[in-house]
Amino acid sequence: MLLVVVASTSCSRCGARAVPDAGAGPDRAWLEGRPTPELGLVSRTGGTLTLRAAVEPTGFSRIDDRFAEGTMARYTTGTIYETLARVDPSKPDGALLPWLARSWALTDRSLTLELLHDVGFHDGSAFDAADVRATVAAVLEAKNPTVGLRAALGPISEVVVETPDRVVVRYSRGPSPFEVRALLGGVPAMPSEALAGPYDVAPIHQHPIGTGPFRFVRFTPGDRLILERVANHRAPALVDAIHVRFVKDDTIAAQLWEKGEFDLMTRIPPAHWRAIEHEPWAWKNYRRFRIDENAYAWIGWNLKRPVFADVRVRRALAMLYPAEVISKAVELGLERRTTCPFWIDSDSCDPEVRPIPFDPARAKALLDEAGWKDADGDGVREQGGVRLEFAFLMPTTSARLGKVLPLFQEQLKNAGVSMTMEPVDGAQLMSRMRAHDFDAAALSWSSPDALSDQWEIFHSSQAEGGKNYVQYAGADELLDRIRTASEPAERKRLERELHRRLFADQPYLFLTARPALDAVKNRVHGLTPSLAWYELAKGWVDP
Partner 1 sequence: MTRRLLLTRLGWLLPSFLVITAVTFAVAHLAPGDPLQLSEDSVTNQAVIEDARRQLELDRPLLHRYGIWLGRLVRFDLGASVTDRRPVLDKIGEALPRTVVVSGLALLLAVAASIALGTFLARRTDRLSGALSASLALASGVPSFWVAVLLLLVFATPRGVEWFPLQGLASSPEAGLFDRLWHLVLPVACLALPTTAMLARYVREGVAAALEQDFIVAARSRGLDERRLLLRHALPNALVPVITIVGLQLPHVFAGSVVIERVFGIQGMGLLAYESIGTRDYPVVMGVSVVMAAVTLGSMFLTDLAAVVADPRARLPGSDR
- CA distance between the termini of the chain: 32
For partner 1, give the closer residue by CB, 205 or 215.
205
Contact call for residue 258 and partner 1 (CB under 8 A): yes
Which residue in the set 27, 165, 223, 374 belongs to the binding site for partner 1 (CB under 8 A)? 223
Question: 239 with 527: CB under 8 angstroms?
Answer: no
Which residue in the set 162, 324, 369, 464 belongs to the binding site for partner 1 (CB under 8 A)? 464
Give residues 360-419 in contact with partner 1 (rule: CB under 8 A): none
Question: 325 with 529: CB under 8 angstroms?
Answer: no
Contact call for residue 278 and partner 1 (CB under 8 A): no
Instruction: Give the Cα separation of 249 and 229 in Å (integer).
Output: 29
Contact call for residue 220 and partner 1 (CB under 8 A): yes
What element of type H or E holds 167?
A: strand 166-171
Instruction: Give the Cα separation of 539 and 525 in Å (integer).
Output: 6
Which residue in the set 249, 376, 378, 490 belongs to the binding site for partner 1 (CB under 8 A)? 249
| Pick from 167, 144, 143, 128: nearest CA to 61 | 144
Which residue in the set 44, 218, 278, 304 belongs to the binding site for partner 1 (CB under 8 A)? 218
We find the least distance from the C-beta atom of residue 378 to partner 1, in angstroms, to be 31
Contact call for residue 248 and partner 1 (CB under 8 A): yes
Instruction: Give the Cα separation of 538 and 527 in Å (integer).
Output: 7
By CB under 8 A, which span of 60-68, 87-95, 108-116, 287-295 interacts with partner 1?
A: 60-68
Instruction: Give the Cα separation of 143 and 147 in Å (integer).
Output: 9
Contact call for residue 423 and partner 1 (CB under 8 A): no
By CB under 8 A, which span of 90-98, 139-147, 152-160, 294-302 interacts with partner 1?
A: 139-147
Chain-centre distance for alpha carbon 229 = 27
Contact call for residue 70 and partner 1 (CB under 8 A): yes
Instruction: Give the Cα separation of 406 and 413 in Å (integer).
Output: 10
By CB under 8 A, which span of 62-70, 83-91, 383-391, 405-413 interacts with partner 1?
A: 62-70
Instruction: Give the Cα separation of 316 and 412 in Å (integer).
Output: 10
Instruction: Tell me the H-state helices in 212-285.
Output: 250-258, 270-275, 280-285
Contact call for residue 430 and partner 1 (CB under 8 A): yes
| Pick from 291, 332, 286, 261: nearest CA to 519 | 286
Measuring CA to CA, how many Å separate 176 from each of 83, 155, 451?
19, 10, 12
For partner 1, give the closer residue by CB, 394 or 415.
394
For partner 1, give the closer residue by CB, 103 or 251.
251
| Pick from 44, 31, 34: nearest CA to 11 | 34
What element of type H or E holds 525?
A: strand 524-525
Contact call for residue 175 and partner 1 (CB under 8 A): no
Give residues 151-170 in contact with partner 1 (rule: CB under 8 A): 151
Instruction: Give the Cα separation of 271 and 511 in Å (integer).
Output: 19
Instruction: Give the Cα separation of 263 and 243 in Å (integer).
Output: 10
By CB under 8 A, which span of 64-72, 410-418, 480-488, 498-506 interacts with partner 1?
A: 64-72
Give residues 281-300 in contact with partner 1 (rule: CB under 8 A): 281
Contact call for residue 431 and partner 1 (CB under 8 A): yes
Contact call for residue 195 and partner 1 (CB under 8 A): no
Number of residues that bind partner 1 (CB under 8 A): 51
Which residue in the set 197, 309, 465, 542 belongs to the binding site for partner 1 (CB under 8 A)? 465
Contact call for residue 460 and partner 1 (CB under 8 A): no
For partner 1, give the closer residue by CB, 101 or 149.
149
Instruction: Give the Cα separation of 284 and 350 in Å (integer).
Output: 40
For partner 1, give the closer residue by CB, 160 or 252.
252
Contact call for residue 247 and partner 1 (CB under 8 A): yes
Measuring CA to CA, how many Å separate 341 from each of 168, 186, 502?
33, 21, 9
For partner 1, give the closer residue by CB, 400 or 496.
400
For partner 1, give the closer residue by CB, 224 or 499.
224
| Contacting positions for partner 1 (CB under 8 A) | 58-59, 65-70, 142-143, 145, 147-148, 151, 200-201, 205-206, 218, 220-224, 226, 247-249, 251-252, 255-256, 258-259, 261, 281, 424-428, 430-431, 434, 443, 445, 456, 464-467
